[in-house]
């Protein structure tokens, strides 16, 4: 995946972000109210942590270009982007940025390959620079549009169409056919129209950049539009309710991914002094690993093992970029109950930050049972809970919660259940989605002799709210003044 250096400094794209995620009453007309400007600033800071900084578009070269010149151009791109990200929000167009980069090349006394001066293959030409910047901006817009498309699960399919004219149009019908064959026509219609499920691999296959959203090539006018379920079915897709359900689940899963998930660039062979300077510029945002520059995605969704994730979220970020997931984790450690409910006390954004952090933490294999104690205030509430379990045949955290807290300690579960005479003890014998956040808790704990944040129980594990546990057995027993119920379950 190519990382876009000019992903978020543009007001028109930021406006789309605001109108998509903010309250419905925010419109184009009141976009510059004081309240809205505060929201813009908050979103801008959030984007700075989740979108990218450093990449260069690899346009084809007639002859090899000196690596040092290309990488110095990359270095300046990073500098320009960081400056825009940290500075005040202002209207910036691609031409202005291209002129800035052009002046940089002049100061470097850059010499193009003889015979290619001023052409698309000249690194310093405004044509080359503008194509690079425009393509990056279009990538950011395409990603945002795909996020919206994936959020619309009522329309799981989309169509490729030409949105403008080109002087030398490419043969997209032929390209579509080749791509469909290369992916075995997975999720692709066979009725002659360029229709496919939004999660079909064909969208990556047709892209010159390996991305499932426009632009699919340099200067391309090909775009996508959602089609109705009826059109998709007429094209031979979504033949059953099961296929429709699976398509919607795939869309929801992809929609959770951040822009920087899996972003990397091969920098093997680059000069050590340049790599050192790049690493310094993007410290906390990327790591050099055996010749590959990988974005760490500090506020995103890239998965890591608990120990690795602890290092990622605790690493200092460049000035002005908030560490959103670290803040959410510390608030969770202080009082996780504030994250519950449809209107959590910490705010919906912070709740989402915590949900992302839990989801990206890889599960560690374990054969130990998980246990969870619950206390109910009355017999009727206990009975209602058990009847729901029997009816559904499964247990799952309430939808307004981020995750359920489980333990590997029977003593801990007994302590939570003993808060009432109406008790439930859940025992999960098989599980694969439990998250061990203990390394993260230790990394998030302020380094002081008198820590202010209480660490969670050492035996605690978190099970995300979307995990469903199958009920295998329910055992009831009477206790003095009440009832104790043991529920055995396992993850499918």
pLDDT of 419 reads: 86
- Do 135 and 11 share a structural domain? yes
Of 284, 309, 328, which marks where a domain is finished? Answer: 284
pLDDT digits (tens, 9 = 90+) for 37-63: 444 444 444 333 333 322 222 222 323
pLDDT of 115 reads: 81
pLDDT band at 188 (very low <50, low <70, confident <90, very high): very high
Beta bridge partners of 488: 427, 473
pLDDT of 44 reads: 41
- Do 387 and 280 share a structural domain? no
pLDDT of 276 reads: 75
Nearest-angstrom CA–CA distance, 298 and 313: 6
Question: What does the pLDDT average to over 417-442?
Answer: 92
pLDDT digits (tens, 9 = 90+) for 240-296: 888 888 888 888 778 777 767 777 777 777 777 767 766 776 778 788 888 887 888
pLDDT digits (tens, 9 = 90+) for 290-346: 888 788 888 888 899 999 999 999 988 876 678 889 999 999 988 888 888 767 777
Report yes or no on 180 lying in a domain: no
Report yes or no on 23 lying in a domain: yes
Cα distance between the two ends of the chain: 33
Position 22 pLDDT exceeds 50: no
- Do 131 and 6 share a structural domain? yes
- Do 427 and 278 share a structural domain? no
Report yes or no on 419 lying in a domain: yes
pLDDT of 280 reads: 72
pLDDT of 51 reads: 33
Average pLDDT, the chain: 75
Question: What does the pLDDT average to over 383-396?
Answer: 94
| In 268-407, beta strands by DSSP E | 286-289, 292-295, 370-376, 394-395, 403-407
pLDDT of 101 reads: 55
pLDDT of 492 reads: 79
pLDDT digits (tens, 9 = 90+) for 471-490: 999 999 998 889 999 999 99
Report yes or no on 401 lying in a domain: yes
Q: Which two tokens stand for residue 259?
A: 């822009």
Position 203 pLDDT exceeds 80: yes
pLDDT of 96 reads: 57
Of 284, 316, 333, which marks where a domain is finished? Answer: 284
Question: Could you tell me which residues come within 8 angstroms of residue 3 by beta carbon, excluding any fewer than 6 positions away?
Answer: 52, 53, 54, 55, 260, 263, 265, 295
pLDDT digits (tens, 9 = 90+) for 210-234: 889 998 998 889 999 999 989 999 9
3-state secondary structure of 409: coil
- Do 278 and 377 share a structural domain? no
Question: Could you tell me which residues come within 8 angstroms of residue 299 by beta carbon, excluding any fewer than 6 positions away?
Answer: 46, 49, 50, 258, 322, 323, 324, 325, 353, 356
- Do 382 and 278 share a structural domain? no
pLDDT band at 124 (very low <50, low <70, confident <90, very high): low
Asked if residue 215 has a cis previous peptide bond (ω within 30° of 0), the answer is: yes
pLDDT of 109 reads: 58
Domain membership of residue 53 as a residue range: 1-143+272-284
Position 82 pLDDT exceeds 60: no
pLDDT of 111 reads: 67
Report yes or no on 425 lying in a domain: yes
pLDDT of 46 reads: 39
pLDDT of 104 reads: 54
402 or 263: which leads in pLDDT:
402
Report yes or no on 5 lying in a domain: yes
pLDDT of 253 reads: 79
Report yes or no on 414 lying in a domain: yes
pLDDT of 165 reads: 84
Domain CATH code at residue 393: 3.90.176.10
Report yes or no on 210 lying in a domain: no
pLDDT band at 363 (very low <50, low <70, confident <90, very high): very high
Instruction: Characterize 221-232 residue by residue with b for buried, 16 or more Cβ atoms within 10 angstroms of its Cβ, and e for exposed.
Output: bbbbebbeeebb
pLDDT of 99 reads: 59
- Do 106 and 3 share a structural domain? yes
The CA-atom distances, in angstroms, between 455 and each of 134, 336, 443, 459 are 48, 12, 11, 11
- Do 18 and 137 share a structural domain? yes
pLDDT of 97 reads: 53
The total number of structural domains that make up the chain: 2
61-75, 387-401, 408-422, 447-461: least confidently modelled range:
61-75
C-beta contacts of 91-94 below 8 A and 24+ residues apart: 91/11, 92/9, 92/10, 92/11, 93/10, 94/6, 94/130, 94/133, 94/134, 94/137
Position 446 pLDDT exceeds 70: no
Of 230, 258, 284, which marks where a domain is finished? Answer: 284
- Do 98 and 4 share a structural domain? yes
Position 460 pLDDT exceeds 70: yes
């Amino acid at each position: 995946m190519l990382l876009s250096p000019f992903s978020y400094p543009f007001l028109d794209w930021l406006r789309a972000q605001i109108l998509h995620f903010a309250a419905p009453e925010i419109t184009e007309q009141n976009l510059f109210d004081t309240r809205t400007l505060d929201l813009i600033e908050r979103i801008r800071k959030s984007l700075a942590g989740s979108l990218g900084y450093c990449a260069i578009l690899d346009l084809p070269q007639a002859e090899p270009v000196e690596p040092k010149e290309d990488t110095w151009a990359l270095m300046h791109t990073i500098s320009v982007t960081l400056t825009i990200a940290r500075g005040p929000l202002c209207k910036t167009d691609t031409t202005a940025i291209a002129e800035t980069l052009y002046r940089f090349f002049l100061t470097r006394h850059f010499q193009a390959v003889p015979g290619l001066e001023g052409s698309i293959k000249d690194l310093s030409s405004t044509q080359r620079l503008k194509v690079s910047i425009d393509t990056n901006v279009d990538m950011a817009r395409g990603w945002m549009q795909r996020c919206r498309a994936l959020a619309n699960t009522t329309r799981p399919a989309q169509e490729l169409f030409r949105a403008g004219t080109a002087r030398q149009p490419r043969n997209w019908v032929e390209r579509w056919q080749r791509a469909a064959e290369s992916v075995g026509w997975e999720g692709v219609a066979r009725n002659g129209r360029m229709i496919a499920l939004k999660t079909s691999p064909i969208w990556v296959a047709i892209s010159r950049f390996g991305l499932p959203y426009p632009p699919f090539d340099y200067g391309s006018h090909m775009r996508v539009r959602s089609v109705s379920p009826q059109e998709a079915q007429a094209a031979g897709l979504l033949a059953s309710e099961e296929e429709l359900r699976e398509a919607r689940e795939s869309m929801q899963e992809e929609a959770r991914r951040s822009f920087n998930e899996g972003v990397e660039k091969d920098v093997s062979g680059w000069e050590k002094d340049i790599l050192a300077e790049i690493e310094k510029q993007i410290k906390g945002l990327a790591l050099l690993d055996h010749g590959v520059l990988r974005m760490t995605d500090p506020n995103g969704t890239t998965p890591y093992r608990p120990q690795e994730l602890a290092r990622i979220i605790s690493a200092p970020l460049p000035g002005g970029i908030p560490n959103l997931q670290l803040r959410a984790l510390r608030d969770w450690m202080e009082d996780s109950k504030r994250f519950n409910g449809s209107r959590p006390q910490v705010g919906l954004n912070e709740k989402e930050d915590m949900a992302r952090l839990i989801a990206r933490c890889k599960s560690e294999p374990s054969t130990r049972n998980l246990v969870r104690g619950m206390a109910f205030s009355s017999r009727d509430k206990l009975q209602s809970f058990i009847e729901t379990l029997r009816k559904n045949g499964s247990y799952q955290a309430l939808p307004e919660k981020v995750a359920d807290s489980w333990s590997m300690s029977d003593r801990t579960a007994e302590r939570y259940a003993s808060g009432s005479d109406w008790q439930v003890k859940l025992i999960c014998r098989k599980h694969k989605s439990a998250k061990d956040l203990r390394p993260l808790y230790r990394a998030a704990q302020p380094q002081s002799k008198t820590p202010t944040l209480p660490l969670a129980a050492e035996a605690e594990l978190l099970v995300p709210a979307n995990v469903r546990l199958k009920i295998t057995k329910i055992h009831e027993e009477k206790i003095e003044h009440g009832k104790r119920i043991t529920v055995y379950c396992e993850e499918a």
